Every structure is written in structure tokens, then in C-alpha cells.
């Protein structure tokens, strides 16, 4: 008989549930995909009831055969995705508008024209973008018949995905500080909703959830939820947005510790300590977490195309049949032969923020083969993360001692070695790669006493391999200068 923590990991394409034991090892897991809805070009939606249903089924399956008790439940989620629902019936008034959705881009341009950039960044730590929740809420209120009337009557609730799941499980209407700080309505200095911003954006504060710390009891699982009978009465007591949860799961508890997730895109987060750092280099600032009354802040940069560049090589160019083949090809040549790939398929993210850039392959000669292009693709992922890390060093004014890594493409030894060489610091890949789910479990486990403190959690993290810089720095610097030249060629490509 053991004591377990259940983590609900609600992502953009699937709902997962993972059970961890006291050692931080995975005991069981379950996963269910759900539909992606594209009602118009650039629009992305999910069905909130399907999100709840798949997460409920995953939780029921993961907890089914446990010999022992679940002490607590932690929730982590795709961030910024926006749900509004009727307080009485519990039914959504519209589909969830997903973080990727660009329908409010024009409204964001209008906010910039109104000169609100400085006001919004100074309070929320964010740049004005359709990515964040605020303009999505406004769209629902303005475009769904009856939504604004319901909101004005106090009959409407808003939440990001963790709020929606916690409400379904417990009836509590709360949001943790890390998710609140991705809405573009939350003052990250005072840790409360910004009344003036809500007024400027015409969003009634009555619909907003109560902001709460990341490791505390939000409520107990209600009786009568089908499949979750054995979890009734279990506290839901930890929550964080997926990237902050991964930072916590990687045990980056000290200022200067950073992680990068090599997924479809790349997300680099750095713990900057107990005071928020204002980015001057195109990054955003969020609350990382608040645990035991202490708030940690993070600088964050995102790259739009990371692992997706390897998929492009496979699915569109047909130069490889699988991701491991990209590694084998790249290892078959000493270098890229001067070839540089700039994967600006959807523009460039941080620190460039150039939506008019487009992808390019530069430096091609008659001797260029597919192995050179494969190597250049891996290099461009490492270059983009280097861009983010250099921006972070500049903003935070402190050294980054190591980079902890996770996500699909982090299995590539050659990519991790390229990264260590470029950054001149160790790149540390953990043995247990489910760092996002473990972050949510750790926050819940601290709250319900399964783990006593951050030191104990630090001891649970084990490295699978640490990559140390090997190549001469002069060679790496020369290659990085070539990357910057290539970016300048791909920049501002589309006429506008």
C-alpha cells in the first residue's frame, strides 16, 4: 500500500493523467486525444466538455488499479486557452478559444494604436498579443449572443483550462497565479486582477476566478463524478500552467536556473527570483509560482518552430523517414558545409517578434547534400534557444549556470551537444522526462505533506545525461555569427 499523487496534464492535443509515488516515479498513466476545431483560417477551438470528459476518463483509468490512497491531485494545463460558461447550468456558452487562435489579432493592433503597450507590459509583464486570454474573453462577450448580458447579471464564469477542471472537480472557481499571469489582466506585482485594465477592455470583474497560490487546497473532489468515485474527498491542491510546471518539475528553484522544452516550438523559462524582471529584449515576465508564501518569477521566451522543423524535413521535403534518421544523417557529416536553415515558417518569435519573416535555406553550394541540410535543421533549433538564453542573460543580469531540458527533441544527443557547445554551459537531461506532470504533482504533494520541502524535491530529480561543451568556442562563435546573418536575410520578407 502506498501514498500517491495524481497529476492531470491537460495539453493542446490530449488529456493525460499520471500517478506518481513518493520517490517521484511513475506508477500508472492514461491519455486520451480530443478534436481540434478550425472554424475559419487562423481560428483554433476545442470543445470544453470534451476536454473535461477526456481528462475525467484519463484520471479514472490512471487511478483504477492503485493499491493505496491518492493523497492529492495537481493540475497543469495548456495556458491562455479561454473558456466562458454559465454559472448555473455549467454549460460553456462557446467553444474554448485556444492559445494558438489568431482571431483577435486586429483587436490587438487597435490596443497598440490606443497606446496601451506600456500600460499593459508594466502591470502584466506581457506584450500585447492575440496569444493571451484577455482579447479572447472580449471576443466571446462581443460575439456570442447573450454572453455580455449573462456576464452583467453575474451568471457567467471565465477560466483558463485549470480553472475549468478544478471547477468541474470541486465546484471552486479559482485560478493559480501562474495561469492568471498569462491572461493580460493580472497585475504580477500586486498579485491581483487589474481593475483599470478590465475596464479598458470592457471585461466585467465578476466573471473572473479568485487568484490563489500554486500549492494549497482549492477544494475536495465532489461525490458522484462518474468513474472518480474512489477519488471523492481527495483534495485538489496544486496547479500551474504547463511551462511553469515544467520549470518546477525540473527543480529550477534558484534564480539563474533555466529549462527549455524542445517541443513543436521551444519554451525557455528562467527563474529570476522574488522580484519580476522587466524584459528589454523581447521576452515576457510571468509568475512562476507561489509556494509557502514566497513568489518566484520567470522570464520566458518562445520559439515558434523547434521540433516542427524536423517534421517539415520528414513530411514536406521527404528528406528523412523518421526523426532518428535526422540525427543519423547529421552525424554523418562534420558540419553543415556552411548551410543555415532559418525556420521562420510562421514568422520569428522571441527575441525578434517578426511576423513578416519567412523560412530560408542559405549557403547552399553544388556540394550540399541532404546530410548537410539535416545537420543545419538541428543547428537552427540550438541557435534559436541560444538567442533566447542570451536575451535572458542580458535581461536578468545574472549568469545561467546550466540548462535543464525536456520535450520530444531533447532525446537527440547531437542536438543536446550542439546546444551545450553554443551556450558554453552544461545541458542536463533528466531520467524522468514527464517534467510538466511531475511539476503539478510536486506542487500538490508539498501542499498535502507527501513531500516536505523544495530540498526533498531536488533530491528526487536524477540526470540521465549531462552534456558538457566540447567544441572550441571560436568555432561556435563563428557559426553563431553566420546564423545571425542568415536571420537578417529572412527578416521582414513578406511585403506589408
The annotated binding site is made up of 12-14, 16, 79-80, 131, 242-243, 264, 307, 311, 408
- When computed from its CA atoms, the radius of gyration of the chain, rounded to whole angstroms, is 22
CA–CA dist 140, 146 (Å, integer): 10
Angle at 391 (CA atoms; ends 387, 395), nearest 5 degrees: 170
Annotated binding-site members for glycerol: 79-80, 131, 242-243
Annotated binding-site members for sn-glycerol 3-phosphate: 12, 79-80, 131, 242
First vs last Cα of the chain: how many Å apart?
A: 64
Cα 231 to its chain centre, rounded Å, is 28
Nearest in space to 156 (alpha carbons), one of 142, 168, 146: 146
Strand partners, 84: 158
Contacts of 457 (CB under 8 A, 6+ apart): 24, 251, 253, 442, 446, 451
Q: For residue 136, what is its C-alpha cell?
A: 479572447
CA–CA dist 389, 384 (Å, integer): 9
CA–CA dist 333, 454 (Å, integer): 44
Q: For residue 124, what is its C-alpha cell?
A: 502584466
CA–CA dist 480, 488 (Å, integer): 13
> b/e map of 454-476 (b: 16 or more CB within 10 Å)?
beebeebbeeeeebebeeeeeeb
CA–CA dist 195, 180 (Å, integer): 14
Nearest in space to 123 (alpha carbons), one of 61, 199, 70, 66: 199
Amino acid at each position: 500500500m502506498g501514498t500517491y499523487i495524481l497529476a492531470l496534464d491537460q495539453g493542446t492535443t490530449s488529456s493525460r493523467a499520471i500517478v506518481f509515488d513518493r520517490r517521484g516515479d511513475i506508477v500508472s498513466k492514461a491519455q486520451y486525444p480530443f478534436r481540434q476545431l478550425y472554424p475559419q483560417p487562423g481560428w483554433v477551438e476545442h470543445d470544453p466538455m470534451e476536454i473535461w470528459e477526456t481528462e475525467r476518463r484519463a484520471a479514472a483509468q490512471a487511478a483504477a488499479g492503485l493499491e493505496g490512497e491518492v493523497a492529492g491531485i495537481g493540475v497543469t494545463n495548456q495556458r491562455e486557452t479561454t473558456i466562458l460558461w454559465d454559472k448555473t447550468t455549467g454549460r460553456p456558452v462557446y467553444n474554448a478559444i485556444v492559445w494558438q487562435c489568431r482571431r483577435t489579432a486586429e483587436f490587438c493592433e487597435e490596443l497598440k494604436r490606443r497606446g496601451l503597450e506600456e500600460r499593459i507590459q508594466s502591470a502584466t509583464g506581457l506584450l500585447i498579443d492575440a496569444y493571451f486570454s484577455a482579447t479572447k474573453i472580449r471576443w466571446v462577450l462581443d460575439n456570442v449572443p447573450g454572453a455580455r448580458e449573462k456576464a452583467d447579471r453575474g451568471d457567467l464564469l471565465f477560466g483558463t483550462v485549470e480553472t475549468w477542471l478544478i471547477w468541474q472537480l470541486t465546484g471552486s472557481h479559482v485560478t493559480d497565479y501562474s495561469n492568471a499571469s498569462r491572461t493580460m489582466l493580472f497585475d504580477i506585482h500586486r498579485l491581483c486582477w487589474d481593475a483599470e485594465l478590465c475596464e479598458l477592455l470592457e471585461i466585467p470583474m465578476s466573471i473572473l476566478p479568485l487568484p490563489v497560490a500554486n500549492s494549497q487546497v482549492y477544494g475536495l473532489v465532489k461525490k458522484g463524478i462518474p468513474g472518480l468515485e474512489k477519488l471523492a474527498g481527495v483534495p485538489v491542491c496544486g496547479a500551474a500552467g504547463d511551462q511553469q510546471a515544467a520549470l518546477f518539475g525540473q527543480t529550477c528553484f534558484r534564480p539563474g536556473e533555466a529549462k527549455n522544452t524542445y517541443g513543436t516550438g521551444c519554451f525557455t523559462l528562467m527563474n529570476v527570483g522574488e522580484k519580476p524582471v522587466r524584459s528589454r529584449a523581447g521576452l515576457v515576465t510571468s509568475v512562476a509560482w507561489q509556494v509557502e508564501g514566497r513568489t518566484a518569477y520567470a522570464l520566458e521566451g518562445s520559439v515558434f518552430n523547434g521540433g516542427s522543423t524536423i517534421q517539415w524535413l520528414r513530411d514536406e521535403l521527404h528528406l528523412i523517414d523518421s526523426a532518428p534518421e535526422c540525427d543519423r544523417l547529421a552525424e554523418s557529416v562534420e558540419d553543415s558545409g556552411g548551410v543555415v536553415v532559418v525556420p521562420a515558417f510562421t514568422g520569428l518569435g522571441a527575441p525578434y517578434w517578426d511576423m513578416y519573416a519567412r523560412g530560408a535555406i542559405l549557403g547552399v553550394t553544388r556540394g550540399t547534400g541532404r546530410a548537410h541540410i539535416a545537420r543545419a535543421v538541428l543547428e537552427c533549433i540550438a541557435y534559436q534557444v541560444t538567442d533566447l538564453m542570451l536575451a535572458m542573460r542580458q535581461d536578468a543580469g545574472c549568469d545561467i549556470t546550466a540548462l535543464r531540458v525536456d520535450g520530444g527533441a531533447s532525446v537527440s544527443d547531437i542536438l543536446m551537444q550542439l546546444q551545450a557547445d553554443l551556450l558554453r554551459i552544461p545541458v542536463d537531461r533528466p531520467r524522468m522526462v514527464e517534467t510538466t506532470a511531475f511539476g503539478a504533482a510536486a506542487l500538490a504533494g508539498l501542499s498535502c505533506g507527501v513531500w516536505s520541502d523544495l530540498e526533498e524535491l531536488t533530491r528526487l530529480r536524477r540526470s540521465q545525461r549531462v552534456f558538457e561543451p566540447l567544441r572550441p568556442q571560436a568555432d561556435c562563435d563563428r557559426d553563431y555569427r553566420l546564423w545571425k546573418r542568415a536571420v537578417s536575410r529572412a527578416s521582414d520578407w513578406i511585403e506589408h
